[in-house]
A and B are shown apart, each in its own frame.
Chain A
């Protein structure tokens, strides 16, 4: 198998209603060392720009925004390695859903209209 044919598969939860979502699976070109966030950003730029994700720092694990459930574990997408297999990516189940992989993660006092 050539380098360019190596694939990761991301099974991504989509939806605006936590009770009525669905999964979409995307094949993502795999390079050793990539993060899950790299894969999600690739999906947006190459397959579906509507996929909702949140992140600021991309790589440094400084902003703490990209927390999500990866294969059932709560992890940062920027530090979790993409693997050459199917990985299931879901929004945090203990936070209110906003859309797709985005949840309301800010403390209530830091949300607009709450303080």
Chain B
């Protein structure tokens, strides 16, 4: 183990996806010195770079629109649980962020007359979703933000820096402790403001659509630092994640833009259209919301009418090669390399963990209950309630990132001195630098086992029995993990990295399962087979706190109405 290193900054941003990069840019523009940390490469991980589809925003470039219409749809999708101040922020400031991205050269797809193109998506009352062709929305957004980050003075970049704990002093967050992966060095960071922009928790599930670095670490960091989490039971499953044949070099959610542009037909294993049996007739158009489509596919498979790999067929065989090529150009060649010819064969799709509605509770300044701790992007809970509308994820990454960066810079401007004390990082530093456990279980296999538990028993459809079984299994894995890190802490020590990942993943998995067990109703993305139907008394958010080493759950009414939205 090498000696600890110490760095000081005004603003520490944890995570360099879309939200983290925008936060860093805005904090630096506000006059703060920024350390932009990521556990992997800067601006390459997280969810934004993976987003191949669309961004919802009331630009009104093609059809007249107003952010209040977007807000109405967002609240509708959220099934009564949205924090309306956050939803409003997302919808109201979305257009400004999208125009800023346009000015930075992201390259939104345009019509021949130069207007930014907007497409229709399920749950939106009009065409409202902008994109970059072909399947390039997320990569283009990431690349644009990377370029601006590189040009903005005052941002230091720190790749391969795995933040293990936040440092707290006098009830405030004053920085963090980290493991520098490529050297093995323990690190302390002093910061006047810390922004958690670590994304969601989809890595907890066996099949997921996001980067492997999204294991809920920001939730665990915030929870251990004393900040409450909200709506943790609401995990969004993307209904038509690619299942078969094996496809490489493409993201599993890629079929969504195909459906936006071309419709396509969802068929069961017998080749029959089936969504009408679950109350949603498609007629070739793509109107089915994510929760309903997930339900229809899972139920069809349970009834023995699934496709060979346990999903549904998605067919574009009614379209010609020319129509496909006009819509997706070079993507058709990439499919051909995977031996997929859409004019001749359907693909198989199935629900896949995609997004997490819950997260760290924050106000519309992106400040948490703990002074010095802010949050941005998917890591924020509350804006999307019980179910996120398609297209809102990149919008919230940009809007919430920008707002968090501004708020952090304002806090820094008010502060005279660095509040950090080495004592605040002592316990976390001891853990990072600990002599580890040489033998012990296979840490990579433990992650695989956790993903299986979550997929099988804490998936889209839940029962008390399954959730209780999951909690017992998670607790078993936590016992196997123990209190001392695996590995020896030398450079790129995979067992130690897994240990710190599992420490976060197991805590967050237990929170999700426990919140799901307590919510005895079905709402949005949380479906209890033993409690079907939405209950008025459950129109409440569940708040999660970490008290004396245990998870504490409470209900609170959502912040709603005009008061919240102003």
Chain A residues with CB under 8 A of B442: 45-46, 49
Best-buried of A16, A62, A63, A79 by chain B (most CB within 10 Å): A62
Taken residue by residue from 22 to 57, chain A's Cβ proximity to chain B (1 for < 8 Å, 0 otherwise) reads as 000000000111110000010011100111111111
A59 adjacent to B160 (CB under 8 Å): no
Which residues 354-373 of B sit at the A interface, judged by CB distance below 8 A? none
B248 adjacent to A57 (CB under 8 Å): no
A59 adjacent to B252 (CB under 8 Å): yes
A65 adjacent to B44 (CB under 8 Å): yes
Chain B residues with CB under 8 A of A61: 248-250
Name which residue of chain A comes closest to B135, CB basis.
A60
Best-buried of B7, B157, B245 by chain A (most CB within 10 Å): B157
Q: Residue A64 contacts which of B37, B41, B247 (CB distance < 8 angstroms)? A: B41
Q: Residue B44 contacts which of A46, A62, A115 (CB distance < 8 angstroms)? A: A62
Name which residue of chain A comes closest to B213, CB basis.
A56
Q: Which residues of A contact B (CB under 8 A)?
A: 16, 31-35, 41, 44-46, 49-65, 78-79, 81, 98-100, 102, 104-106, 109-113, 115
The count of residues in chain B whose C-beta lies closer than 8 Å to any C-beta of chain A is 49
Q: Counting CB contacts under 8 A, is B491 at the interface? A: yes
Chain A residues with CB under 8 A of B46: 56
Kindly state the separation between the CA atoms of A109 and B146 in the bound complex, as whole angstroms: 13
A63 adjacent to B40 (CB under 8 Å): yes
| A60-B249, A79-B249 given; A111·B443 CB < 8 A | no
Taken residue by residue from 22 to 41, chain B's Cβ proximity to chain A (1 for < 8 Å, 0 otherwise) reads as 00000000000000010011
| A57-B49, A98-B182, A106-B159 given; A112·B187 CB < 8 A | yes
| A55-B212, A57-B212 given; A49·B444 CB < 8 A | yes
A58 adjacent to B159 (CB under 8 Å): no
Nearest CB in chain A: distance from B14 CB, A = 13
What are 16 A-B contacts defined by CB distance under 8 Å? A33-B247, A41-B444, A45-B442, A49-B498, A59-B250, A60-B251, A61-B248, A61-B249, A62-B251, A63-B40, A63-B45, A65-B44, A99-B491, A104-B182, A112-B160, A115-B156
B248 adjacent to A59 (CB under 8 Å): yes
Q: Residue B180 contacts which of A63, A110, A112 (CB distance < 8 angstroms)? A: A112
Kindly state the separation between the CA atoms of A28 and B161 in the bound complex, as whole angstroms: 31
Q: Counting CB contacts under 8 A, is B42 at the interface? A: yes
Name which residue of chain A comes closest to B178, CB basis.
A112
Which residues 221-249 of B sit at the A interface, judged by CB distance below 8 A? 245-249
Kindly state the separation between the CA atoms of A3 and B160 in the bound complex, as whole angstroms: 39
Chain B residues with CB under 8 A of A111: 157-160, 182
Chain B residues with CB under 8 A of A105: 41
Nearest CB in chain B: distance from A21 CB, A = 14
B445 adjacent to A115 (CB under 8 Å): no
| A33-B246, A49-B445, A110-B159 given; A56·B494 CB < 8 A | no
Which residues 189-241 of B sit at the A interface, judged by CB distance below 8 A? 211-213
Q: Counting CB contacts under 8 A, is B134 at the interface? A: no
B211 adjacent to A58 (CB under 8 Å): yes
A44 adjacent to B494 (CB under 8 Å): yes
Nearest CB in chain A: distance from B450 CB, A = 12
Chain A residues with CB under 8 A of B45: 56-57, 63
A59 adjacent to B445 (CB under 8 Å): no
B246 adjacent to A62 (CB under 8 Å): no
Q: Which 6 A-B pairs have the closest CB atoms?
A: A33-B246, A60-B251, A112-B158, A44-B444, A56-B211, A56-B45
Name which residue of chain B comes closest to A55, CB basis.
B212
Nearest CB in chain B: distance from A13 CB, A = 14
Chain B residues with CB under 8 A of A106: 41-42, 159-160
B445 adjacent to A45 (CB under 8 Å): yes
A31 adjacent to B49 (CB under 8 Å): no
Name which residue of chain A comes closest to B161, CB basis.
A112
Known: A16-B490, A98-B491, A112-B159. 10 other contacts (CB 8 A): A44-B494, A50-B487, A57-B49, A61-B249, A62-B50, A62-B138, A98-B492, A110-B42, A111-B159, A112-B161
Which residues 244-286 of B sit at the A interface, judged by CB distance below 8 A? 245-252
Nearest CB in chain B: distance from A76 CB, A = 8
B139 adjacent to A62 (CB under 8 Å): yes
Chain A residues with CB under 8 A of B5: 113
Chain A residues with CB under 8 A of B128: none
A79 adjacent to B492 (CB under 8 Å): no
Q: Counting CB contacts under 8 A, is B336 at the interface? A: no
